[in-house]
Amino acid sequence: MVAEVYEIIHRINVGQNLRGHTGSSQEITLIAVTPEESLYQQLAADLRRKLNLAASTPLPYLQKIVAPVDLDIWMQDWGEFASAQVEGHAAPVHAILDTGRGFLYSSKTVEVFASTLGIPFIRIPLQGAARAGSYGGNIEATPDGRIVMGDASVDDEVISFLTRMTGQDPIRVPTGWLQTRHVDEYLSFLPAPASPCGSVLLLGSPLEGLQILAGAGAQEAKRAALPDPEAVQNSLRYFADGNLDKPLRGAFWEVDMIVRSNLRAENAIRNAEAILRSTSHFCMPRVVRVPQLYYRDASQDEGGGTSPQLEQQAIEAAETFTQMASLIPNAMNLLVLRDHVVVSLQRFSPKLETFAPFERIITARLADVLGGPEKVHFVDTHPYGFRGGGIHCGTNVIREIITD
């Protein structure tokens, strides 16, 4: 996937002369982790063949830097690149915030990586290993620096640190229903300099996802390993009165669980939107809804690894709204490269077909914000998908510092 993204940025640069909204030609640096290189080699070869590109093709405005292999694949989680006022520097500079990701807390790898890049290293002062909600994937920021993060499994030290750094309390939205506890599973700010708030807010819509699936063809859904559209349609009719506490049984039970869970997810996301709208001193961006589907995945732990011993717990917890993960690759979990985005293909395995109805709508919604479909780029991220993450989870970007 990393090499795929690398080549897509070449296509962006050649075709669009990628620039920031200031008109600056400063480079943008994509940071990518590749500990399991064998997973990506075939993907890279396939894309190079499709684009007729050589591996040696130079990329303007971009450096590809491969992080140390012992940092695990979730690049977004173990460190956050930020603009910081650091002693000895008159103006803000790039720095890495070490978010204390679990087993990495006592490691100096992030510090060494910062030294390699030649930028300061800042460790958030924690008393022990960070909880899942403290990782970088749970920290989103608006163009003006307002932080939005999930409210579950977050260390108090992280909240205090971010409050001191920004001068404002982070806005907390519900994430306890998610397996990862990370807000980037349903929310993302997409830069839009012409908009009043400088961005638009992408919000997942499980309800729309269900409605689209209910109207799809049976074979189309089957080829993407999605539930039967007719069964989804019947279940949606059953829950039309909004009472989600009366589950179906028998042959419809599994589809019923997916429909009920996604209707509850829709309510949780609408609640998050209401929190943002009611927050004082916050510029509420225009909302763009993107279809999404979730399912209960209690076989993954909070760190993104599989735990087969949790399968029985998954069965026992079938009636609870917890441990929700993406049923298809998540369009909110995207990579933003100035006025372009890189989005995961709507499949979790190369043996499955993509779900075209979602891709058409996602492309149209994002193209409307960005100014054209040529700025929306899809990549196959199944090596991350079956580990419970997406392209945002597996990448990170150092963006140019905008000064007035």
Instruction: Give residue-wise pLDDT tens across range 86-106.
Output: 777 777 777 888 887 755 545
In a domain, 28, yes or no: no
Task: Report d(CA 308, CA 88) in Å as an integer.
Answer: 50
Q: What is the pLDDT of residue 18?
A: 36
At 258-300, the pLDDT tens digits run: 999 999 999 999 999 999 999 999 999 999 999 999 988 765 5
In a domain, 33, yes or no: no
* Residue 303 pLDDT > 70: no
In a domain, 22, yes or no: no
Q: How far apart are the first and last CA of the chain?
A: 36
pLDDT tier for residue 344 given thresholds of 50, 70 and 90: confident
Sheet holding 62-66, edge to edge: 62-66, 28-32, 395-398
Mean pLDDT for 223-235 is 93
* Locus of tokens 């869970």: 261
In a domain, 150, yes or no: yes
| Domains held by the chain: number | 1
* Residue 108 pLDDT > 50: yes
CA 295 vs CA 255, 261, 263, 390, 393: distances in Å: 10, 7, 11, 15, 18
Mean pLDDT for 312-339 is 75
Q: What is the pLDDT of residue 340?
A: 81
* Residue 82 pLDDT > 50: yes
Domain of residue 210 covers 74-398
143 Cβ neighbours under 8 A, 6+ residues apart = 189, 191, 197, 198, 199
Three-state DSSP at 132 gives helix
CA atoms 329, 335, 336, 339: torsion sign: negative
Alpha carbon dihedral 121, 122, 124, 129, in 10-degree steps, equals: 10
Three-state DSSP at 344 gives strand
Q: For the whole model, what pTM was predicted?
A: 0.82
The DSSP call for residue 325 is E
Region of poorest pLDDT, from 138-152, 154-168, 303-317 = 303-317
In a domain, 393, yes or no: yes
At 118-154, the pLDDT tens digits run: 788 888 888 777 888 999 899 998 877 789 999 999 9
Tell me the one-letter amino acid at 247. Answer: P
In a domain, 11, yes or no: no
195 Cβ neighbours under 8 A, 6+ residues apart = 285, 286
In a domain, 25, yes or no: no
pLDDT tier for residue 349 given thresholds of 50, 70 and 90: confident
pLDDT tier for residue 71 given thresholds of 50, 70 and 90: low
Region of poorest pLDDT, from 36-45, 49-58, 242-251, 270-279 = 36-45
Q: What is the pLDDT of residue 55?
A: 59
Q: What percent of the chain has a predicted confidence (pLDDT) above 70?
A: 72
The DSSP call for residue 226 is -
For residue 62, give both structure tokens.
Answer: 């971009």
Q: In CATH, what number is assigned to the domain containing residue 367? A: 3.75.10.10
In a domain, 375, yes or no: yes
* Locus of tokens 């690398």: 6
CB-based contact 304:387 (threshold 8 Å): yes
Q: What is the pLDDT of residue 10?
A: 52
**Listed ranges 75-89, 100-114, 222-236, 297-311; the one with the highest mean pLDDT:** 222-236
Q: What is the pLDDT of residue 331?
A: 92
Q: How many helices (H) and strands (E) does the chain have?
A: 12, 17
pLDDT tier for residue 369 given thresholds of 50, 70 and 90: very high
